[in-house]
């Protein structure tokens, strides 16, 4: 049997009890765990994954382009060309 602790007398009571059987005080209703929360959590993880993979893709593309810039033969500036 699932129980919880009465916030007033700290006795073990049924988790769905609305009135404590020890101190007879009204208890706040138990909020059931929502499955929506786990769905929102999954959506947040998926969104984060898309953002991270997108950023990783952009970073990989940037590094590839940068490698091209570095391997590209650098032309000497025109001012250093010997005049005819």
Binding site for Zn ion (CB under 5 A): 6, 8-9, 20, 22-23
The residues pairing with 65 across neighbouring beta strands, listed in sequence order, are: none
Contact present, 32 and 15 (Cβ < 8 Å): no
Question: Residue 14 CB, nearest distance to Zn ion (Å)?
Answer: 12
Q: Which is nearer to Zn ion, 18 or 56 (CB)?
A: 18
Residue 2 beta carbon to Zn ion: minimum distance, rounded to whole angstroms? 17
Note whether 15 and 7 are within 8 A (CB).
Answer: no
Q: Which is nearer to Zn ion, 22 or 41 (CB)?
A: 22
DSSP H stretches of helix in 33-80: 35-71
Token readout for 33 is 């765990």
Least gap, CB of 25 to Zn ion (angstroms): 6
Q: Which one, 9 or 50, has the nearer CB to Zn ion?
A: 9
């Amino acid at each position: 049997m699932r129980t919880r602790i009465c916030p007033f007398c700290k006795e073990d009571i049924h988790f769905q009890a609305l009135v404590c059987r020890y101190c007879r005080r009204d208890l706040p209703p138990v909020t059931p765990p929502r499955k929506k929360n786990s769905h929102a959590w999954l959506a947040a993880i998926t969104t984060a994954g898309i953002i991270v993979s997108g950023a990783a893709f952009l970073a990989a593309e940037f590094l590839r382009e940068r490698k091209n810039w570095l391997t590209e033969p650098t032309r000497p500036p025109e001012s250093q060309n010997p005049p005819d």
